[in-house]
Structure 1
Amino acid sequence: MIVRVRYLFALLALAHVSIALVDDVLDIIKLGKEISEDIINSWDIVGKPFNASGGVELPLFRRREKAVLRRIAQISRSIEKVEASIERTSGVLMLLTKNNGKGSRLELRLHEMTDLLSRVSAADAKMREYVTLQRDLEKITLENFAMWCVSHDAGALPSILDRVHALIAPPHKHLLGRNLFGLVLEDVGDEHPDLCELQMSQHQLIYDMYNTISLAEIKGYAMMQFSWMLLRIYGKGNFTQEASLTRQRYGQRTNQTAAAARAALSLAKRDLHRCDPEVHKEGVTYEMVKRLLQGYIENEVDLNSDGTCRENCAYYTVAENKGCFKDQFCSKQKACKGRIIDCTFVESDMWVCQPNSWYDHRRYQWIKYESGRTLGHADTCSGITTKVDSWWRWNLLHCSYCFCLCEEDVHDNGTQRFFSLVEALADFDRNKVVTGIRLVKHGRVFHLQVSEGTLGERGSVTPGSWVELKSKFDPEDYEVTEGVDFHTLTYEKRAIDLDELESPSGHVMTGARFRMIGAHLHFEIRATPFNYTTGRLSPERSLWISNDNTDGTFSPRKKLDLTSPDIPTRSNVPLPVDSIHDQYMEFTHSDMSKDAAQNTVPYIDIQPVQPLKGAALLSGAGIIHRGIPGSGGFLAAKVITYDFSHHVQAEMPSEENYHEDDTTDFVPMVN
């Protein structure tokens, strides 16, 4: 059972270092080619078959045996190095847990695949052990192991590899149905919560499975080819044709596996975002824009300089607080020092529950009118309940309490509605790329922050860390300028564009920023060309990618409306992505009836989006909205992982220096 559990993780063992594994696999391929050339060149000494039971000089026999075992040891050390670098993950366990007990096709085939891969790994481990103990082993031990590696028996290595391949490329699709890649794509949908938790895109999930299966093929091919060589040394035959057939079958399997992987990768989604956490916690999983538009009670007598009640509430579309008449309710609440907008009359008399703390971001917990109408949740009041009544003046004019929106003064410390326009960049001059993105709040300002990693050969990424914010400031600082360093959300300028941006082919993401286009806060990414083989960036050729669509274009952006939005942490269902590329939305107040308009929505999701803990290559990112009708939802970041499908290919080992009289060289497939 321990071995089985261990190799449940092996199917996606690359989930946190997938690209690093690809790089290490390529090192194995290079080493395998070098070893195979050495074997071919030295076959005149090592490769002549003889009868080991008589008339042979034992030291010569041992030298030839050791020559092959030394080469096996080299391959084993390389594979061991790869396995040592793999961080265990719960990728397969996640899929098995989700399907556990259902008896689904995916669950059954995942169990079968992990069982087969564990057998290949167990055989590889045994081979390593034999190489270590070769001086103490009898010839019959190595001979029996070599015979098992090339046997036609159902439980032998060739049969195991065939069964692995049958799960990826079913020989009779009309009977066996989808391959394993297809079943995974079918099971792991767009909003699969475990992918959010594991931080893997569908594309990465398939690619990791492909790499793990390819590594098992390399192990099996190495064991089979060296087994033919050992059996030839032991005088069991020439095995030239058998080794050639092994090579051909390996090539066919590798080509078909690559084709199946490419087909699945072309269908797999590469975007990734965070889902709802188990518990929403301010400052940990989300932050809030505060005091942009907030429900506010004010008597009309305090909305004009004359202190009169000649108008009605609707008259005051834009006003200011002008005083506090006779220290009535106005003296018991914090006055709005900014603009007072869109006043309306609800009812004359009410009870108001106010928080205990003057610094609470809410002005009211709830408002309950005499008719029974309630704004907010009036079950209990943890603060202070105050009776608020409108009055008649000189029995002629009614001084009504209005329900308005307060856009608080930007100099008020409770106001938190500023977005940094400073670029967030990876250190591309040191060949670093963006590996993650998040929205963070420092002081009263929201920033984009990126994580970076060092780009290596063939898409490998060495994880780094989160890049320190380039500029930490307060809007009151004299050295920063509005419109250049930061943007202030206002009633007129509270729109944010929702876009999903991707770098051109041959480019990777090296930065992100907000900038203003008209009244819209706009998202952009920095794309930098790179050489896939060498991993070198060309930062001097970088460009900023954006979707500069405005209201004045032929096909303007569409607005994502928030309908009667409650605060999102009250939702009892998961909030999926409901935005699409080329939309925009406006920050607004929470619903008047549900929350007394006390919060600004959407909330800001500050959970980091960092696939594979910073070891994944990214080609794009976006700003999205997660929500449902009736909820304010969350504004969030997303990433788009790099498309590796173009690099998944199988090439047959070179025929150069290969002769029918020689044993087949060991050259793993190039993927």
Structure 2
Amino acid sequence: MTAHVRAMLALAALATTHAFVDEAVDVLLLSKHIGEEVLNSWDIIGKPFNASQGVELPFIHKRERQLFSRLSYITRAIQKLEVGIEKSRVVAMLLEKNIGRGPRLELKLNEMSDLLSRVDSADRQMREYVRLQRELERRTLEEFASWCVSHDRGALPGLLERVHALVVPPHAHLLGHSLLDLIVSDLQDRHPEVCELQLSPHQLIYDMYNTIALTEIKGYAMMQFSWMLLRIYGKGNFTQEASLTRERYTERTARTATAAKAALAMAQRDLYRCDPPQHVKGETYEEVTRLLQGYIENEVDMNPDMTCKENCAYYTLAKNYGCFKDMYCANQPTCKGRIINCQYVDSDMWVCPAASTSTRRYEWIEFENERKLGRMGYCKRGTTKVDSWWRWLFWHCSYCMCLCDEPGPKSDRYFSLWDATSDVKNNKVVTGLRLIKHGRVFHLQVSEGRLGERGAVTPGGWVPFNKFDVNDPDVRENVDYHTLSYERRAVDLDELDSPFGHIMTGVRFRMIGAHLHFEIRSTPFNYTTGRLSPERSQWISNDNTDGTERPRSQLRLINPDIPIYSNSPLPVDSKHDQYIEFTNSDFDADAAQSTVPFIDIQPVEPLKGASLISGAGMIHRGTSGSGGFIAPKLFTYDYSRHVKAELPPDSDEGESPDFMPVSAY
């Protein structure tokens, strides 16, 4: 082969290497390419040449330069993938969040963190040696290469074996469970404590697997190139040693992939937000206002004849007909909607009115029988004494405690029915979800990112939603928005996922009967190429209604107080195929002045928009005694079907009878 042809082949090899640097976006593909590059590199140093006249120094330098050139491109590929994986820093996050309360898990996490750091340190040192290769002494490179293949427990092979033993214990019945299994078990038991990581347990396990697999790739590359370097320096042939290194790498990666698939199959893929450190209206939560609200009304004003011949319980559905003799009714805003479900508490009371700018009517109410409604305290506007009275000796005109359903400027009770979708024509997928309130209307909003090869997502941003006012002339009820009312205040709680081979590209609310219903848009995609098929998108929902054989069950709120006053974190208490109704807060706890549940408006966006999302849902976080929150939930993509070991190719690594290793410079 002429020198010209050899040069052409060398350039072609470098061009191929550069291509895989740009294209390798996950550990599986990178592992395959690294194996191919190692094989090609053995070909470089193992090519036969005539050694009868001895080996000249320029030839040694040439082989060194070729080897380091290959190694330089491989380290670039590793670095590119490493940037993406390090964004999650799963081991550090697990330790930082102190999830591993059990000593076994915490010890194993600390050990894994130490081992990964030591391998990473060796990899950084190798990169520095590659950069400074022309300035280093041969002895420096030789000693580093010897450490990379040493049998010492603290050398690189020993570190890799110890990492592997944490993932796949050699004697599980004696040494305990795999680190991945321990993490899954811990996350399942304390899932509410990890939701602030903004990684689903499944995504976290997958990223842990990627971190370990990348460490194996680093170690394999360092060990193989160390054998090559030692061979160039005349320390031996090392053909069998390199083959054993490949075999052990193959065995470890296959077993790690098997362990990861098993752990991923058990790990939950759901992701939602927990209670923030501090609840802030407009930042972490919002409210539906004055849908059903506690309201004091005398029975004389709830009938057109202005009589008091009935009792409070008679008025299950009424309205205001006037203000008899300007009594207490003249001192409070009149309910201009429907008055519902009245009840008698006591004849006389003291009322603390709320500020005129508040959506509340009263801060608290205290009855003469000492029953108290709401949180008692200082009354800024001063209390008002409200007394029932007798009329014509035998009619008692009682003040009733009712509910007021009053649409109006102080009642925010509207939900947009517009689709919230990603730009599928430009290959963008949904990467996050949140509920947001604009004006008096609640909207669904999604973030989007551009889908790339093998699950890679380039973060984008939040997609603008269609803003409107319900009073706009071209906006239509039941088409553009839904209005909550006493009869139409149910929200379906569903958890929806895309079928295999699909990814989520949109969400929306629509009405099914009297229920506000959540749906997702699912679009087929090719995992390898990352291309979407927008024309085959479909909307997915759980269209279960009251008329089916097994209708939805209702999640009932028990004595629901304002949720931001809860003394403990609110867990998810809803299940798929349920519904919940907006209602008034508890009479005793809050004088029924608030509408619950509240709306959690915290964004759910795993890995800041760089993760695949396959599904979403509406859930309720709450407990007995709390109104809780309606909140969005996401399902991260199921990566388990893509986890497998890409084995390095077989080869006669460097077997060349005409090759004579050099003995000296």
Q: 2: CA distance between counterparts of 1:89 and 1:251?
A: 26
Paired with 1:581 and 1:396, the residues of 2 have a C-alpha distance of 54
In 1, the alpha carbon distance for the partners of 2:502 and 2:403 equals 46
Q: Kindly indicate whether the alpha-carbon contact (under 8 Å) linking 1:50 and 1:233 is maintained by their aligned counterparts in 2.
A: no
Instruction: Kindly indicate whether residue 532 of structure 2 is the aligned counterpart of residue 523 of structure 1.
Output: no
The one-letter code sitting in structure 2 at the alignment partner of 1:640 is F
| CA pair 161-37 structure 1, distance change in 2 beyond 3 A | closer
Q: How does 1:66-465 map to 2 (within 5 A)?
A: 66-85=65-84, 88=87, 91-99=90-98, 104-189=103-188, 191-355=190-354, 357-408=355-406, 410=407, 412-465=408-461
Measure how far apart 1:395 and its partner are. Answer: 2.5
Change (3 A) 1:246 1:188: same
Counterparts in 2 of 1:441 and 1:102: CA distance versus 1, 3 Å:
closer
CA 1:38–1:171: 2 relative to 1, 3 Å: closer
CA distance 1:423–1:100, shift in 2 (3 Å): closer
- The Cα of 1:233 is off from its aligned counterpart by 1.0
| Cα distance in 1, alignment partners of residues 542 and 85 from structure 2 | 39
Aligned partner of 1:599: which letter?
Answer: S
- CA contact under 8 A between 1:435 and 1:614: conserved in structure 2? yes
Task: String of CA shifts for 1:304-329, please: whole Å, max 9, x gaps.
Answer: 22222222222221111111122211
The 1:318/1:242 distance shift into structure 2, 3 A limit, reads same
**Aligned counterparts, 1:563-642, within 5 A:** 563-642=558-637
Any conservation in 1 of the 2:26–2:454 contact (CA below 8 Å)? no
In 2, Cα distance between equivalents of 1:26 and 1:174: 30
In the alignment, the residues of structure 2 paired with residue 583 and residue 489 of structure 1 have an alpha-carbon distance, to the nearest angstrom, of: 18
Alpha-carbon distance between aligned partners in 1 of 2:198 and 2:51, rounded to the nearest angstrom: 56
Q: Which amino acid aligns with 1:23?
A: V
* TM-score (normalizing by structure 2): 0.92
Distance 2:50 2:97 in 1: 54
| Cα RMSD, aligned residues only | 2.2
Correspondence list, 1:458-477, <5 A: 458-469=454-465, 471-477=466-472
Q: Residue type of the partner of 1:266?
A: A
Letter of the 2:655 counterpart: D
What displacement does 1:226 show? 0.7
Asked if structure 2 preserves the Cα contact closer than 8 Å seen for 1:50 and 1:234, the reply is no
Q: CA deviation at 1:125?
A: 1.3
Moved more, 26-35 or 599-608: 26-35
Gaps in structure 1 of 5+ consecutive residues: 1-19, 664-671
Q: How many residues align?
A: 636
Deviation at 1:88, TM superposition (A): 4.8
Does the CA-based 8 Å contact 2:288-2:598 persist in structure 1?
Answer: yes
CA distance in 1, matches of 2:284, 2:99: 30
* Distance apart, 1:115 and its partner CA: 1.0
Q: What corresponds to 2:15 in structure 1?
A: none
TM-score using structure 1 length: 0.91
Q: 2-side partners of 1:282 and 1:214: how far apart?
A: 44
Do the aligned partners of 1:40 and 1:662 also contact (CA within 8 Å) in 2?
A: no
How far did 1:354 drift? 0.6
- Secondary structure, aligned partner of 1:572: coil
Aligned to 2:6: none
Range that drifts further, 93-102 or 112-121? 93-102
1:478 to 465, 473, 482: 473
Alpha-carbon distance change, 569 to 96 in structure 1, aligned in 2, over 3 angstroms: same
Supply the AA of the counterpart residue of 2:63. R
Distance 1:48 1:267, change over 3 A: farther
Change in Cα spacing, 1:569 to 1:126, as seen in structure 2 (3 Å) is same
Q: Which moved more, 1:378-387 or 1:553-562?
A: 378-387
Cα distance, 1:615–1:312 mapped onto 2, change above 3 Å: same
Equivalent-residue separation in structure 1 for 2:415 and 2:190 (angstroms)? 29
In 2, the alpha carbon distance for the partners of 1:110 and 1:369 equals 59
**How far, CA to CA, are the matches of 1:350 and 1:144 in structure 2?**
90
* Contact kept in structure 2, 1:454 and 1:463, CA below 8 Å: yes
Say if 1:363 and 1:598, in contact at 8 Å, map to a contact too. yes
Q: Distance in 2 between matches of 1:60 and 1:185?
A: 54
Distance in 2 (CA, whole Å) between partners of 1:21 and 1:433 is 20
> What secondary structure sits across from 2:362 in the alignment?
coil
In structure 2, C-alpha distance between the alignment counterparts of 1:416 and 1:637, rounded to whole Å: 19
**Which amino acid is the alignment partner of residue 394 of structure 2?**
L
Structure 1 residue 613: Cα displacement = 0.6
Work out whether residues 243 and 653 of structure 2, in 8 Å CA contact, stay in contact via their aligned partners in 1: no
Give the equivalent residue in structure 2 for 1:3.
none
**Residues 349-372 of structure 1, C-alpha deviation per residue, up to 9 Å, x if partnerless?**
1000011x2121110111111110
Partners of 1:382 and 1:257 in 2: CA distance? 66
Q: Deviations over 1:376-403 (max 9, x none)?
A: 1223323331000111223232211111
Cα deviation for residue 85 of structure 1 reads: 4.9
Deviation for aligned residue 1:579: 0.5
Query: 1:44: Cα distance to partner?
Result: 5.0
Tell me if the contact between 1:69 and 1:131 (Cα under 8 Å) persists in the aligned partners: yes
Give distance in 2, aligned partners of 1:539 and 1:571: 44
Between 1:75-84 and 1:290-299, the stretch displaced more is 75-84
Of stretches 567-576 and 180-189 in structure 1, the one that deviates more from structure 2 is 180-189
Distance 1:106 1:339 in 2: 58
Q: Distance in 2 between matches of 1:21 and 1:120?
A: 25
Letter in 2 for 1:465: G
Percent of aligned pairs with the same residue?
A: 64
CA distance in 1, matches of 2:88, 2:647: 32
Structure 2: distance between partners of 1:413 and 1:224: 72
Secondary structure, in 3 states, of the residue corresponding to 2:134? helix
1:496 pairs with 2:496 = no
Quote the residue 2:25 is aligned against.
23
Asked if 2 retains the 8 angstrom alpha-carbon contact of 1:22 and 1:460, the reply is no
Question: CA shift at 1:55, angstroms?
Answer: 4.6
Whether 2:34 is the aligned partner of 1:32: answer yes
Q: Which runs of 5+ in 2 are unaligned?
A: 1-21, 658-665
2:300/2:397 contact within 8 Å kept: yes
Indicate yes or no: 2:544 matched with 1:549.
Answer: yes
**Pairwise CA distance, 1:141:** 1.5
Structure 1 partner of 2:655: 661
1:91–1:198 CA contact under 8 A, matched in 2: no
Q: CA 1:290/1:99 → structure 2, altered by over 3 Å: closer, same or farther? A: closer
Report if the CA contact (8 A) 2:438-2:467 is conserved: yes
Residue range with higher mean Cα deviation, 77-86 or 239-248: 77-86
Q: Compute the displacement of 1:373 (Å).
A: 0.8
Matched to 1:547, the amino acid is N
- Conserved 8 A contact 1:458-1:534: yes
Deviation of 1:238 after TM superposition, in Å, equals 1.2
Shift of 1:43: 4.2
User: Compared with structure 1, are the counterparts of its residues 476 and 102 closer, same or farther at alpha carbon in structure 2 (3 Å cutoff)?
Assistant: closer
